[in-house]
Amino acid sequence: MAKPKSTREFSGLESYSGEAPAPAKPVTAPGVYPTVRPRRNRGDAWSRRMVAETALRAEDLIWPLFLEEGEGHSKAVSSMPGVERMSVDRAVEAVAQARDLGIPAVALFPHVPSEKKTTDCAEAWNPDNLICRAVREVKRQVPDIGVLCDVALDPYNALGHDGLVAGECVLNDESIQALIRQALVQAEAGCDIIGPSDMMDGRVGAIREALDAAGYQDVRIMSYAAKYASGFYGPFRDAVGSGGFLIGDKKTYQMDPANTDEALREVALDLEEGADMIMIKPGMPYLDIVRRVKERFAVPTFAYQVSGEYAMIKAAVERGWLDNDKVMIESLLAFKRAGADGVLTYMAVDAAKRLKEG
């Protein structure tokens, strides 16, 4: 019988060509390269998909549309490349396209002719105004898509503000009464989601009470709960035709961009008053607000990738500085990663097409 090998012969201190296996290299401490290689999971497309922490789907997108009077036409918004104001018939066709791509809802905004802008904003609650006619037509022809209507007076206001104005003061309580009337005609037209964007104190509770009393208890409220007095709204004001009418600024009712705790208070108040969903606006410059709100309240939370954000990306794309598809998807993923359940974005249709293509 062969003599057992000595401990020294198996020690790995010198070469051995007999029956014993070669010794393994010492194991590196856990959590240290080369044992740990994060790139392993990035090595193949399938594994990247498998370990992705955040998913973006067409169902996460809401498409804002701009409307104007007339029939059979559309008009480009010069400060928003690729965005048009559409007549109602054209808008209905666009909404059907969005539905077919899996987008669950659209948000409608009117371009109001200057002759219909008044200081009392009465066109806002005209049951036959542009928005109400559009809502009725969309719900008639594309009933299986949600319709969100903005509740604020600025498109109808000869002074460009979201509320009624007396002297240099934007009135709070008087504006709420006007906003209630606006919300009710929109609900009557068939709107699914009321979106109060005016930032008047107490308007969510007042609108909820009025909707319930009128039998519209199933109409949802997506409150613009944390809407900041931002410089990113300029192209939107061009699109709805309110920019040239604005007297002063909106700092007495929209939030200070320096504040975050205040956003939590605004959201808490709107939820207590009956908001079903809340929104943060603008979007990417305020992702910290999205994260804080979602973590604190755990309610359906949306963000608005506003016109200025869109315009900056598109301007860079037009100059060849950015890749449109890559930046579009990356920017929308950022909202989901921050905690948003959905995003209002002018890129919704293009993004849905890209996602469908894989």
Of residues 205, 229, 193, the one with CA closest to residue 344: 193
> Does some domain include residue 252?
yes
Contact 222, 107 (CB under 8 A): no
Query: Residue-wise pLDDT tens for the chain (358 aa)?
Result: 555 544 444 444 445 455 666 666 656 667 788 888 899 999 999 899 899 999 999 999 999 999 999 999 999 999 999 999 999 999 999 999 999 999 999 999 999 999 999 999 999 999 999 999 999 999 999 999 999 999 999 999 999 999 999 999 999 999 999 999 999 999 999 999 999 999 999 999 999 999 999 999 999 999 999 999 999 999 988 888 877 788 889 999 999 999 999 999 999 999 999 999 999 999 999 999 999 999 999 999 999 999 999 999 999 999 999 999 999 999 999 999 999 999 999 999 999 999 999 7
Please name every residue paired with 193 in a beta bridge, in sequence order, or none if there are none.
148, 220
Rounded to two decimals, what is the model's pTM? Answer: 0.89
Q: How many domains does the chain have?
A: 1
> Does some domain include residue 7?
no
Contact 259, 314 (CB under 8 A): no
> Does some domain include residue 318?
yes
Torsion sign (Cα): 281, 198, 347, 277: positive
> Does some domain include residue 305?
yes
> Does some domain include residue 166?
yes
Contact 352, 102 (CB under 8 A): yes
The tokens of 338 are what?
């921050």
Task: State the residue range of the domain holding 329.
Answer: 60-357
Please name every residue paired with 165 in a beta bridge, in sequence order, or none if there are none.
170
> Does some domain include residue 184?
yes
Looking up residue 309, the CATH number of its domain turns out to be 3.20.20.70
> Does some domain include residue 43?
no
Catalytic residues: 227, 281
> Does some domain include residue 155?
yes
Chain center to CA of 355: 17
Distances in Å between the Cα of 202 and the Cα atoms of 171, 214, 229, 267, 275 are 12, 19, 19, 12, 11
